[in-house]
Amino acid sequence: MKPPVKLMPCAAALAAALFCSSAGAAEVKLKAASFLPQSSIVTKPFLRFVDEVNKSCAGKVSISVVGPEAVPSLEQWNALKSGVIDMHYGPPNYFRGVVPAGDVVSVARNELTEQRKNGAWAAINELYNRQLNAWYLTYMLNGERFYIYTNKPAKDGHFDGFRLRSVPIYDGFFKSLGAQPLRMAPPEVYTALERGAVDGYGWPLWGVHDFGWDKYTKYRYGPGFINAAVVIIVNLDKWKSLADDQRACLTQVTERVETQWPAWKKEIDTEQEALQKKAGIQYVDLGPQFPRKAEDVYWSELEKGDPAFVQKVRPLLTK
């Protein structure tokens, strides 16, 4: 027997609803910008993260990546905030003018998994939501710290008169060591070393060989200080527009990558240390007070920008 005619519109409406639901679940393509070229060793973890997303979230979310040749490094965070790009991989110290305490991850001492459990991640995410119009996924390079590299020996751990290429996160520390911080883009450092315009530079373990700086580098001073943190953030409006299963997939991949990160770090650390030894770079250990001083100086600077937030989150980022 044929169904009553009065039920047909309902069936049609149901079919339309199912069609709309199916259409709404179509794969979302996110455009991401990396602050360094894809060829950089520092970008490698992010590209692995992107690969994980594209495999695990196939049919839901896919990510394509451009570098500073498409969107200049220092403009990427603003492009993310305004929605020109959907995702950004870059150092939070680049947007300290907008999020004064956003770089607290650079002085974190615990693992990312712990930061999710104790509320640190949630607090940082809320800050990014409010001040940067961004959803904070995670950050890469946790535990990958900076060192001082020089072409001449320091005197008993003092760098009086040394001209060191620097960035804002350790300017204050370098000054406290008697050094003169100098600002220049990474591609300019090689020529500065070659011409004797600088005596050294601050940089993580990774990438010295990539830039060719090992040719003019004799010493690496540590232990490493301050994380070379690089956040992965999503435009907040774009994040809210995603379907529940799309956000869930991105979150699941992020949390899985956080557990894989220590193994990734160990693999690349081993490779980079071997390259530095081959180049004849000598490691000099200045003792535990060396990184402690750097981090205390930077915590003080961050606290000036947002005292209440820093006082709240600092205990959650320390062991």
**Average pLDDT over all residues of the chain:** 91
Q: Mean pLDDT over residues 36-51, rounded? A: 94
| 45 residue type, one letter | P
- N- to C-terminal Cα distance for the chain? 72
- 221 near 148, Cβ under 8 Å? yes
- Pull the structure tokens for residue 46: 């992010």
- CA-nearest of 212, 156, 219, 159 to 189 is 212
What is the spatial distance between Cα 178 and Cα 246, in angstroms, rounded to a whole number? 51
Encode pLDDT of 215-234 as tens digits: 999 999 999 999 999 999 99
pLDDT at 19: 42
Alpha-helical runs (H) found in 181-235: 186-195, 208-211
Q: Which domains does the chain have, with CATH numbers?
A: 27-143+229-268 (3.40.190.170), 145-225+273-317 (3.40.190.170)
- 8 near 103, Cβ under 8 Å? no
SS3 state at 251: helix
Q: How confident is the model at residue 266 (pLDDT cuts 50, 70, 90)?
A: very high
pTM, 2 dp? 0.86
What is the spatial distance between Cα 218 and Cα 199, in angstroms, rounded to a whole number? 10
- Pull the structure tokens for residue 173: 């520390």
pLDDT at 6: 45
Distances (CA, A) of 95 to 14, 40, 78, 91, 92: 48, 21, 8, 8, 6
pLDDT at 23: 44
- CA-nearest of 150, 146, 112 to 232 is 112
Listed in sequence order, the residues at least 6 apart from 162 whose beta carbon sits closer than 8 Å to its beta carbon are 150, 154, 177, 178, 179, 180, 199, 200
The larger pLDDT score, comparing residue 19 to residue 193, is at 193
What does the DSSP assignment read for 55-69?
HHTTTTEEEEEE-TT
- Measured in degrees and rounded to the nearest 5, phi and psi for residue 97 equal -65, -25
Distances (CA, A) of 260 to 83, 84, 250, 255, 307: 30, 30, 15, 9, 33
Q: How confident is the model at residue 168 (pLDDT cuts 50, 70, 90)?
A: confident
Encode pLDDT of 289-308 as tens digits: 999 999 999 999 999 999 99
Strand residues in 35-86 grouped as ranges (E): 61-66
- Measured in degrees and rounded to the nearest 5, phi and psi for residue 84 equal -65, -35
pLDDT at 25: 60
Q: How confident is the model at residue 319 (pLDDT cuts 50, 70, 90)?
A: confident
